[in-house]
Structure 1
Amino acid sequence: MSATPVNNHDYLWNYREKALEVLEKARLEKALSYEEIAEKLEVSKVWLASAFKGQQYVPAQYTEKLAEILGLSMNVVNVLEEHPYKGNVDPILYRLHEVFDTYGPAIKAIIHEKFSDGNGIMSAIDFSVDVDRVEDPKGDRVVITFNGKFLPYSCKGKYPW
């Protein structure tokens, strides 16, 4: 009997890597952006990209539509209907880590789509962060805003630089 995975990498990439690669390959072959697919599914583009990175549970109503959009069998797309493993720490820090563990690869993918060839990063020097409270009748909301300058990678010298 194997031990329970201790992190998302062990769980996701050993168990689900091939199916996720097939999904991404199909998306690229059809030249569809995450945003285009998200519009067809009527979901958030970041949530969808996060699902493609193995970080979201995706209900069957979306996996069925996604299989049609990408021309894939449900055997491949069904992997998205499984819940990813997530660890824990301090409750607030856990949630912040969870946000980046869950949405980080998706945010990266969206940044690469939005900024031409995506060959760059978001600055953490030319950067600001803000935290606000927004009242909501269903429960107040925490709004965290990251605002970083896009920096293309520098290609100085001979590759690899």
Structure 2
Amino acid sequence: MDKLAMTDAIVTAKIEQKLSWEKIGTDLGVSPVWLTSACLGMNSASPEIAKKIVDYLALSPEVATALEAYPTKVWDQQVPTDPLIYRLYEVVGVYGETLKEVIQEKFGDGIMSAIDFSMEVDKIEDPKGDRVLLTLNGKFLPYKSW
């Protein structure tokens, strides 16, 4: 089973069981954001977590094997057209250079890791319209001279 078939099986089970990523993550004791990424094929799961996911969703062992497989992190290089994904792309387009300047001013020459990394998505209720709070938490990795 490849990652695409794995994702299809997981998402189908999630929908049929009327579950949310938040509930699955909470019940399994893992970050819902990480869980979603693994189930969509962009991260690998340990054998223990893969087994928990397939047991929870009543899926086949082949799904667990696919969850454990190391992903090839490739995505469409065209500008996304989904409005939510496009807006995130727009944020990076508009504020990417600003973030780079501010991060490097505070930390020095380097990057934020997307490997030693966590992310949270929170809802902030507001009478003018609810707000989305994204927290990206990555280790700073300085460039080294040799």
TM-score by length of structure 1 reads: 0.47
Deviation of residue 15 (structure 1)?
A: 3.7
**Which letter maps to 2:6?**
A
Query: 3-state DSSP class of the match of 2:33?
Result: helix
Q: 1:110 is matched with which residue?
A: none
1:53 equivalent in alignment to 2:40: yes
**Alpha-carbon spacing, 1:33–1:85, altered in 2? closer, same or farther (3 Å):** same
Deviation of residue 69 (structure 1)?
A: 1.2
State whether residues 6 and 39 of structure 2, in contact with CA within 8 Å, keep that contact through their aligned partners in structure 1: no
**Which letter maps to 1:82?**
A
Q: 1:18 is matched with which residue?
A: 5
**Alpha-carbon spacing, 1:120–1:15, altered in 2? closer, same or farther (3 Å):** same
State whether residues 10 and 39 of structure 2, in contact with CA within 8 Å, keep that contact through their aligned partners in structure 1: yes
Q: Deviations over 1:87-119 (max 9, x none)?
A: 7xxxxxxxxxxxxx5xxxxxxxxxxxxxxxxx8
Q: 1:30 is matched with which residue?
A: 17
State whether residues 47 and 64 of structure 2, in contact with CA within 8 Å, keep that contact through their aligned partners in structure 1: no
> Identity of counterpart residues, as a percentage?
26
Report matched runs for 1:95-114 at 5 Å: none
Q: What number of residue pairs does the alignment pair up?
A: 96
**Which letter maps to 2:36?**
A
- Within the candidate set 71, 81, 88, 1:84 is matched to 71
User: Which whole-Å CA distance do the structure 2 matches of 1:142 and 1:55 have between them?
Assistant: 14
Deviation of residue 77 (structure 1)?
A: 2.6
Gaps of 5+ in 1: 1-13, 88-100, 102-118, 135-140, 144-148, 151-161
- Within the candidate set 62, 70, 75, 1:75 is matched to 62
Gaps of 5+ in 2: 76-81, 108-115, 119-130, 133-146
CA RMSD of aligned residues (A): 3.5
- Within the candidate set 58, 64, 69, 2:51 is matched to 64
- Within the candidate set 15, 31, 40, 1:44 is matched to 31
